[in-house]
Structure 1
Amino acid sequence: MAKKKNKTLSPDTIAVNKQARRLYEILETFEAGISLVGSEVKSLRGGQVSFKDGYVSFRQGSAFLVGVHIAPYEKTGTYDQHDPERARRLLLHKHEISVLQAKTEQKGLTVVPMKMYFSRGKVKVQLGLGRGKNVHSKKQDLKDRDIARDTQRQLASY
Protein backbone atom coordinates (compact mmCIF):
# COMPACT_ATOMS: atom_id res chain seq x y z
CA MET A 1 0.00 0.00 0.00
CA ALA A 2 1.32 3.45 -0.93
CA LYS A 3 2.22 5.99 1.73
CA LYS A 4 -0.23 8.82 2.28
CA LYS A 5 1.31 12.21 1.51
CA ASN A 6 0.76 15.15 3.81
CA LYS A 7 -0.77 17.86 1.60
CA THR A 8 -0.43 20.69 4.13
CA LEU A 9 3.39 20.68 4.20
CA SER A 10 5.60 21.66 1.29
CA PRO A 11 7.99 18.96 0.04
CA ASP A 12 10.95 20.59 1.80
CA THR A 13 9.23 21.03 5.18
CA ILE A 14 10.36 18.54 7.82
CA ALA A 15 8.09 19.53 10.72
CA VAL A 16 6.06 22.45 12.10
CA ASN A 17 5.73 23.41 15.76
CA LYS A 18 1.96 23.81 16.07
CA GLN A 19 2.18 24.77 19.75
CA ALA A 20 4.36 27.83 19.05
CA ARG A 21 1.58 30.08 17.71
CA ARG A 22 -0.88 28.79 20.30
CA LEU A 23 1.36 29.42 23.32
CA TYR A 24 3.27 32.49 22.12
CA GLU A 25 2.51 35.76 20.41
CA ILE A 26 5.20 35.76 17.71
CA LEU A 27 6.72 39.21 17.14
CA GLU A 28 9.60 38.43 14.75
CA THR A 29 10.93 35.44 12.83
CA PHE A 30 14.49 34.50 11.94
CA GLU A 31 16.04 31.78 9.79
CA ALA A 32 19.00 29.86 11.17
CA GLY A 33 21.12 26.97 10.07
CA ILE A 34 21.75 24.11 12.47
CA SER A 35 24.82 22.01 13.13
CA LEU A 36 23.91 18.30 12.91
CA VAL A 37 25.61 14.94 12.59
CA GLY A 38 24.88 12.54 9.72
CA SER A 39 22.48 10.24 11.54
CA GLU A 40 20.41 13.26 12.64
CA VAL A 41 20.02 14.43 9.05
CA LYS A 42 18.96 10.92 8.00
CA SER A 43 16.41 10.86 10.80
CA LEU A 44 15.10 14.30 9.80
CA ARG A 45 14.59 13.12 6.23
CA GLY A 46 12.19 10.59 7.73
CA GLY A 47 10.42 13.39 9.65
CA GLN A 48 11.30 12.06 13.10
CA VAL A 49 11.48 15.28 15.11
CA SER A 50 9.49 16.64 18.06
CA PHE A 51 9.46 20.29 19.15
CA LYS A 52 7.51 19.66 22.39
CA ASP A 53 9.76 21.61 24.82
CA GLY A 54 12.15 23.29 22.40
CA TYR A 55 13.67 26.70 23.02
CA VAL A 56 16.87 28.61 22.26
CA SER A 57 19.52 29.28 24.92
CA PHE A 58 22.56 31.52 24.63
CA ARG A 59 26.01 30.52 25.93
CA GLN A 60 29.42 32.11 25.32
CA GLY A 61 28.28 34.14 22.32
CA SER A 62 26.54 31.21 20.60
CA ALA A 63 22.91 30.13 20.27
CA PHE A 64 21.85 26.54 21.00
CA LEU A 65 18.61 24.73 20.26
CA VAL A 66 17.62 22.87 23.42
CA GLY A 67 14.80 20.39 24.07
CA VAL A 68 14.14 19.36 20.47
CA HIS A 69 14.00 15.58 20.14
CA ILE A 70 15.45 14.07 16.96
CA ALA A 71 14.90 10.31 17.08
CA PRO A 72 17.91 8.02 16.52
CA TYR A 73 18.24 6.65 13.01
CA GLU A 74 17.32 2.94 13.02
CA LYS A 75 19.78 1.79 10.37
CA THR A 76 22.85 3.17 12.12
CA GLY A 77 25.01 0.90 14.26
CA THR A 78 24.73 1.06 18.03
CA TYR A 79 28.12 2.73 18.50
CA ASP A 80 27.34 5.55 16.05
CA GLN A 81 24.02 6.80 17.50
CA HIS A 82 23.49 10.44 18.44
CA ASP A 83 21.94 11.72 21.66
CA PRO A 84 18.31 12.58 20.79
CA GLU A 85 18.04 15.45 23.31
CA ARG A 86 21.45 17.10 22.87
CA ALA A 87 21.84 20.86 22.50
CA ARG A 88 22.44 21.71 18.84
CA ARG A 89 24.34 24.80 17.78
CA LEU A 90 22.44 27.31 15.67
CA LEU A 91 24.26 29.04 12.85
CA LEU A 92 23.44 32.74 13.09
CA HIS A 93 25.40 35.94 12.53
CA LYS A 94 26.95 37.48 15.65
CA HIS A 95 24.74 40.53 15.25
CA GLU A 96 21.59 38.38 15.16
CA ILE A 97 22.73 36.47 18.25
CA SER A 98 23.42 39.67 20.19
CA VAL A 99 20.05 41.18 19.21
CA LEU A 100 18.14 38.05 20.19
CA GLN A 101 20.05 37.65 23.44
CA ALA A 102 19.44 41.28 24.42
CA LYS A 103 15.72 41.06 23.70
CA THR A 104 15.28 37.84 25.66
CA GLU A 105 17.15 39.20 28.70
CA GLN A 106 15.54 42.64 28.86
CA LYS A 107 11.98 42.33 27.64
CA GLY A 108 11.02 38.89 28.94
CA LEU A 109 10.68 37.42 25.47
CA THR A 110 11.68 33.92 24.41
CA VAL A 111 12.97 32.36 21.21
CA VAL A 112 11.16 29.18 20.09
CA PRO A 113 11.63 26.94 17.05
CA MET A 114 8.64 27.19 14.73
CA LYS A 115 9.53 25.10 11.71
CA MET A 116 12.29 22.88 10.32
CA TYR A 117 12.84 22.54 6.59
CA PHE A 118 15.40 21.80 3.89
CA SER A 119 16.73 24.70 1.85
CA ARG A 120 19.13 23.80 -0.97
CA GLY A 121 20.06 20.56 0.80
CA LYS A 122 20.73 22.19 4.18
CA VAL A 123 18.54 21.93 7.28
CA LYS A 124 17.15 25.29 8.36
CA VAL A 125 15.16 26.27 11.44
CA GLN A 126 12.65 29.10 11.54
CA LEU A 127 12.87 30.77 14.95
CA GLY A 128 10.20 32.97 16.43
CA LEU A 129 10.78 35.71 19.00
CA GLY A 130 7.65 35.64 21.08
CA ARG A 131 5.92 36.61 24.28
CA GLY A 132 3.94 33.99 26.19
CA LYS A 133 0.17 34.22 25.95
CA ASN A 134 -2.01 34.11 29.01
CA VAL A 135 -5.20 32.03 29.31
CA HIS A 136 -7.47 34.96 28.42
CA SER A 137 -5.75 35.63 25.10
CA LYS A 138 -5.81 31.92 24.19
CA LYS A 139 -9.57 31.84 24.80
CA GLN A 140 -10.02 35.01 22.76
CA ASP A 141 -8.11 33.44 19.85
CA LEU A 142 -10.42 30.39 19.95
CA LYS A 143 -13.48 32.64 20.04
CA ASP A 144 -12.27 34.71 17.07
CA ARG A 145 -11.55 31.57 15.06
CA ASP A 146 -15.03 30.17 15.77
CA ILE A 147 -16.67 33.44 14.72
CA ALA A 148 -14.66 33.55 11.49
CA ARG A 149 -15.59 29.94 10.70
CA ASP A 150 -19.30 30.62 11.33
CA THR A 151 -19.30 33.68 9.08
CA GLN A 152 -17.59 31.70 6.31
CA ARG A 153 -20.33 29.05 6.59
CA GLN A 154 -23.03 31.70 6.42
CA LEU A 155 -21.45 33.30 3.35
CA ALA A 156 -20.99 29.93 1.66
CA SER A 157 -24.64 29.00 2.15
CA TYR A 158 -25.87 32.10 0.24
Structure 2
Amino acid sequence: MNDEIATNRKALRDYQILERYEAGVELRGTEVKSIRQGRLNISDAFARVERGQVWLYNLDIQAYDKANGFTQHEPRRTRRLLLHKREILKLYGETQQKGLSLPVLRAYWKESHVKIEIGVGRGRDKGDQREAVKEKEAKREAQRIVARFNERGRS
Protein backbone atom coordinates (compact mmCIF):
# COMPACT_ATOMS: atom_id res chain seq x y z
CA MET A 1 0.00 0.00 0.00
CA ASN A 2 1.70 3.19 -1.21
CA ASP A 3 0.13 6.38 0.06
CA GLU A 4 1.26 9.35 -2.00
CA ILE A 5 2.54 12.30 0.04
CA ALA A 6 3.75 14.62 -2.74
CA THR A 7 4.56 14.50 -6.46
CA ASN A 8 7.00 16.78 -8.25
CA ARG A 9 5.23 17.41 -11.56
CA LYS A 10 7.70 20.18 -12.36
CA ALA A 11 10.56 17.66 -12.43
CA LEU A 12 8.62 15.36 -14.74
CA ARG A 13 8.13 18.29 -17.11
CA ASP A 14 11.67 19.71 -16.91
CA TYR A 15 13.62 16.42 -17.05
CA GLN A 16 13.66 13.38 -19.27
CA ILE A 17 13.77 10.64 -16.63
CA LEU A 18 16.10 7.79 -17.63
CA GLU A 19 16.00 5.70 -14.46
CA ARG A 20 14.16 5.72 -11.10
CA TYR A 21 15.37 4.74 -7.63
CA GLU A 22 13.51 4.27 -4.35
CA ALA A 23 15.33 5.52 -1.26
CA GLY A 24 14.60 5.84 2.42
CA VAL A 25 15.18 9.16 4.16
CA GLU A 26 16.93 9.74 7.46
CA LEU A 27 14.38 11.82 9.42
CA ARG A 28 13.93 13.13 12.95
CA GLY A 29 10.77 12.61 14.99
CA THR A 30 9.29 16.06 14.46
CA GLU A 31 9.91 15.76 10.71
CA VAL A 32 7.83 12.59 10.49
CA LYS A 33 5.01 14.19 12.49
CA SER A 34 5.10 17.25 10.25
CA ILE A 35 4.94 15.03 7.12
CA ARG A 36 1.89 13.29 8.58
CA GLN A 37 0.27 16.75 8.76
CA GLY A 38 1.02 17.21 5.05
CA ARG A 39 3.71 19.87 5.41
CA LEU A 40 6.17 18.55 2.81
CA ASN A 41 7.33 20.39 -0.31
CA ILE A 42 9.53 18.61 -2.87
CA SER A 43 9.27 21.04 -5.80
CA ASP A 44 12.92 22.21 -5.60
CA ALA A 45 14.43 19.07 -4.07
CA PHE A 46 17.35 17.24 -5.63
CA ALA A 47 19.98 14.70 -4.61
CA ARG A 48 23.77 14.63 -4.89
CA VAL A 49 26.36 11.93 -4.34
CA GLU A 50 29.06 13.23 -1.98
CA ARG A 51 31.60 11.44 0.21
CA GLY A 52 30.16 8.00 -0.64
CA GLN A 53 26.65 9.00 0.47
CA VAL A 54 23.58 10.37 -1.30
CA TRP A 55 22.37 13.66 0.19
CA LEU A 56 19.00 15.31 -0.31
CA TYR A 57 18.90 19.11 -0.71
CA ASN A 58 16.03 21.62 -0.60
CA LEU A 59 13.45 19.16 0.76
CA ASP A 60 11.20 21.51 2.72
CA ILE A 61 9.52 20.00 5.79
CA GLN A 62 7.78 22.78 7.71
CA ALA A 63 8.00 23.00 11.49
CA TYR A 64 5.80 20.78 13.63
CA ASP A 65 3.19 22.83 15.52
CA LYS A 66 3.31 21.08 18.87
CA ALA A 67 7.09 20.75 19.28
CA ASN A 68 9.05 22.97 21.62
CA GLY A 69 12.13 24.93 20.54
CA PHE A 70 14.62 22.27 21.63
CA THR A 71 13.16 19.39 19.62
CA GLN A 72 12.23 21.41 16.52
CA HIS A 73 13.96 20.57 13.24
CA GLU A 74 15.42 22.90 10.61
CA PRO A 75 12.99 22.96 7.64
CA ARG A 76 15.51 22.83 4.75
CA ARG A 77 18.37 20.90 6.29
CA THR A 78 20.40 18.44 4.22
CA ARG A 79 19.13 14.88 4.73
CA ARG A 80 20.81 11.57 3.98
CA LEU A 81 19.15 9.12 1.59
CA LEU A 82 19.37 5.45 2.45
CA LEU A 83 20.45 3.33 -0.53
CA HIS A 84 22.47 0.18 -1.10
CA LYS A 85 26.17 0.69 -1.81
CA ARG A 86 25.90 -0.64 -5.37
CA GLU A 87 23.07 1.82 -6.06
CA ILE A 88 25.16 4.69 -4.68
CA LEU A 89 28.11 3.70 -6.89
CA LYS A 90 25.84 3.44 -9.93
CA LEU A 91 24.30 6.87 -9.20
CA TYR A 92 27.78 8.35 -8.78
CA GLY A 93 28.83 7.01 -12.18
CA GLU A 94 25.67 8.30 -13.84
CA THR A 95 25.88 11.79 -12.35
CA GLN A 96 29.48 12.18 -13.57
CA GLN A 97 28.11 12.29 -17.13
CA LYS A 98 27.46 15.79 -18.38
CA GLY A 99 23.87 16.99 -18.13
CA LEU A 100 22.53 14.28 -15.77
CA SER A 101 21.09 15.17 -12.37
CA LEU A 102 19.01 13.56 -9.60
CA PRO A 103 15.66 15.34 -9.15
CA VAL A 104 13.17 14.16 -6.54
CA LEU A 105 10.07 12.79 -8.30
CA ARG A 106 7.75 11.88 -5.44
CA ALA A 107 7.45 11.11 -1.74
CA TYR A 108 5.21 8.37 -0.36
CA TRP A 109 4.54 6.10 2.60
CA LYS A 110 5.60 2.47 2.35
CA GLU A 111 4.23 0.74 5.42
CA SER A 112 5.33 3.17 8.17
CA HIS A 113 8.38 4.56 6.35
CA VAL A 114 8.73 7.67 4.22
CA LYS A 115 10.25 6.84 0.84
CA ILE A 116 11.59 9.21 -1.80
CA GLU A 117 11.70 8.37 -5.49
CA ILE A 118 14.61 10.01 -7.26
CA GLY A 119 15.23 9.90 -10.96
CA VAL A 120 18.32 10.14 -13.10
CA GLY A 121 17.26 12.90 -15.45
CA ARG A 122 18.55 14.88 -18.38
CA GLY A 123 17.29 18.46 -18.47
CA ARG A 124 14.95 19.44 -21.28
CA ASP A 125 14.96 22.81 -22.97
CA LYS A 126 11.70 24.66 -23.72
CA GLY A 127 11.33 23.13 -27.20
CA ASP A 128 11.69 19.60 -25.84
CA GLN A 129 9.12 20.35 -23.14
CA ARG A 130 6.58 21.50 -25.72
CA GLU A 131 7.31 18.43 -27.85
CA ALA A 132 6.75 16.14 -24.84
CA VAL A 133 3.40 17.82 -24.09
CA LYS A 134 2.30 17.39 -27.72
CA GLU A 135 3.23 13.68 -27.67
CA LYS A 136 1.37 13.18 -24.41
CA GLU A 137 -1.77 14.89 -25.75
CA ALA A 138 -1.63 12.86 -28.98
CA LYS A 139 -1.34 9.61 -27.01
CA ARG A 140 -4.26 10.61 -24.78
CA GLU A 141 -6.43 11.47 -27.82
CA ALA A 142 -5.59 8.11 -29.45
CA GLN A 143 -6.68 6.31 -26.26
CA ARG A 144 -9.99 8.22 -26.28
CA ILE A 145 -10.65 7.22 -29.90
CA VAL A 146 -9.90 3.56 -29.16
CA ALA A 147 -12.18 3.68 -26.09
CA ARG A 148 -15.05 5.17 -28.14
CA PHE A 149 -14.58 2.56 -30.86
CA ASN A 150 -14.62 -0.26 -28.29
CA GLU A 151 -17.78 1.12 -26.68
CA ARG A 152 -19.64 1.14 -30.02
CA GLY A 153 -18.63 -2.47 -30.64
CA ARG A 154 -20.24 -3.66 -27.38
CA SER A 155 -23.73 -2.24 -27.93
TM-score normalised by length of structure 2: 0.86
**Cα distance in 1 for residues equivalent to 2:99 and 2:145:** 41
Q: Specify whether residues 142 and 83 from structure 1 end up closer, same or farther in structure 2 by C-alpha distance, changes over 3 A only.
A: same
Correspondence for 2:48? 57
1:43 lines up with 2:34 in the alignment: yes
1:132 corresponds in structure 2 to 123
Q: Deviations over 1:36-79 (max 9, x none)?
A: 00000011112211112111112211111001101111111122
Partner deviation per Cα, 1:127-151 (whole Å, 9 max, x = no partner): 1111001111111122223334555
Answering whether residue 17 of structure 2 is matched by residue 26 of structure 1, we say yes
Check if 1:112 corresponds to 2:128.
no
Distance 2:54 2:63 in 1: 23
Consecutive unaligned residues of structure 2, counting only runs of 5 or more, are none
The structure-2 alpha-carbon separation of the partners of 1:67 and 1:142, relative to structure 1 and needing over 3 Å to count, comes to same
What is the aligned-residue identity percentage? Answer: 38
SS in 2 for 1:12: strand
Separation in 2, partners of 1:31, 1:104: 17
Considering only aligned residues, what root-mean-square deviation do their CA atoms show, in Å?
1.9
Which residue identity does 1:22 align to in structure 2? R
| Amino acid aligned to 1:40 | E
Partner-residue secondary structure (3-state), 2:96: helix
Unaligned runs of 5+ in 1: 1-9
Equivalent residue pairs, number: 149
Question: What per-residue deviation string (whole Å, max 9, x for no partner) do you get for residues 86-130 of structure 1?
Answer: 000000111111110111012431111111111121111111111
Distance 1:76 1:60, change over 3 A: same
Q: 1:126 to 1:11 in 2, by over 3 A?
A: closer
Aligned to 1:145: 136
- Where 2:77 maps in the other structure, the secondary structure is coil
**Conserved? CA contact 2:11–2:43, under 8 Å:** no
User: What SS does structure 1 have at the residue aligned with 2:35?
Assistant: helix
After TM superposition, what 4+ stretches of structure 1 lie above 6 angstroms from structure 2?
none
Distance between the aligned counterparts of 2:103 and 2:36, measured in 1? 21
Q: Cα distance 1:132–1:84, how it changes in 2: closer, same or farther (>3 A)?
A: same
Aligned residue type for 1:114: L
